[in-house]
């Protein structure tokens, strides 16, 4: 997509997390995690509350952190694909993206998902074309909270850290942004732990997608 004119502020690009920011996928994640847990670990309550505290990170890394079998990734991904039609774009997000693009901003997605899964989901939702680049955690040496995925996004966008922000709904997003020298934006319209996000000291806080419009000046 061509840019109409440069933004009025020093901001040139936004790097977005995907789940909990662009798309509402929590219920699908709950179902996929429960199915994977039952299939690999066995019957009993799946510890989704603990899993959700690690969101933003690559799934295998979360499994290692929780002491769960890495074999859960296969059924988790399978069920995520099967249930993909239940994932929705958060209300107002598409309109905000279109407006910010008309203001001259460029976008990348930097997600804990694999790149293939992220691009497939955005294509299914018919908004893949709104993003200049979509990068998965399997496509960088170190996933969040390391800075690699944000730095890769900036490299592809051709933007220096001072001219970008990272918008995420997890503490790992904020940490990745900070390590990359990018201003962090805490997103509070999903199901994330708002208190934990605020305690992490983001540079900016947005409670609705429309509040992102203020970033362009």
pLDDT grade for 193, boundaries at 50, 70 and 90: confident
Q: Are strands 164-168 and 13-16 parallel, antiparallel or unpaired?
A: parallel
Residue 4, pLDDT above cutoff 50: no
pLDDT at residue 90, rounded to an integer? 98
Measure the CA–CA gap between 16 and 131, rounded to whole angstroms: 10
pLDDT at residue 207, rounded to an integer? 96
State which H helix or E strand residue 31 sits in: helix 26-40
Q: What SS3 state is found at 89?
A: strand
DSSP letter for each residue of 95-161: HHHHHHHHTT-EEEEEESS-HHHHHHHHHHTT-GGG-SEEEEGGGSSS-TTSSHHHHHHHHHHT--G
* Residues 154 and 175: beta-carbon distance below 8 Å: no
pLDDT grade for 69, boundaries at 50, 70 and 90: very high
**What's the pTM?**
0.91
* Model pLDDT for residues 83-127, shown as the tens digit of each residue: 999 999 999 999 999 999 999 999 999 999 999 999 999 999 999
pLDDT at residue 217, rounded to an integer? 65
* Residues 16 and 110: beta-carbon distance below 8 Å: yes
Measure the CA–CA gap between 36 and 93, rounded to whole angstroms: 30
Measure the CA–CA gap between 110 and 27, rounded to whole angstroms: 21
Measure the CA–CA gap between 39 and 48, rounded to whole angstroms: 15
Q: Are strands 106-111 and 133-136 parallel, antiparallel or unpaired?
A: parallel
Residue 2, pLDDT above cutoff 70: no
Residue 9, pLDDT above cutoff 80: no
* Model pLDDT for residues 121-178, shown as the tens digit of each residue: 999 999 999 999 999 999 999 999 999 999 999 999 999 999 999 999 999 999 999 9
pLDDT grade for 192, boundaries at 50, 70 and 90: confident
């Amino acid at each position: 997509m061509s840019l109409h004119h440069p933004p009025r502020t020093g901001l040139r690009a936004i790097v977005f997390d995907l789940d909990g920011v662009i798309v509402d996928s929590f219920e699908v994640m709950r179902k996929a995690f429960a199915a994977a847990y039952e299939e690999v670990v066995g019957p009993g309550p799946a510890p989704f509350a603990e899993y959700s505290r690690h969101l933003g990170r690559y799934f295998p890394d979360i499994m290692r952190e929780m002491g769960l079998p890495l074999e859960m990734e296969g059924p988790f991904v399978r069920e995520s694909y099967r249930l993909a039609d239940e994932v929705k774009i958060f209300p107002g997000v598409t309109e905000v993206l279109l407006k910010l693009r008309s203001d001259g901003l460029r976008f990348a997605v930097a997600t804990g998902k694999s790149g293939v899964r992220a691009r497939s989901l955005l294509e299914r939702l018919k908004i893949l074309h709104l993003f200049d680049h979509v990068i998965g955690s399997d496509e960088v040496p170190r996933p969040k909270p390391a800075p690699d995925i944000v730095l890769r996004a900036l490299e592809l966008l051709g933007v220096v850290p001072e001219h970008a922000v990272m918008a995420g709904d997890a503490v790992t997003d904020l940490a990745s942004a900070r390590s990359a020298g990018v201003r962090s934006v805490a997103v509070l319209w999903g199901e994330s732990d708002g208190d934990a996000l605020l305690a992490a000291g983001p540079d900016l806080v947005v409670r609705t997608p429309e509040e992102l419009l203020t970033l362009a000046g």
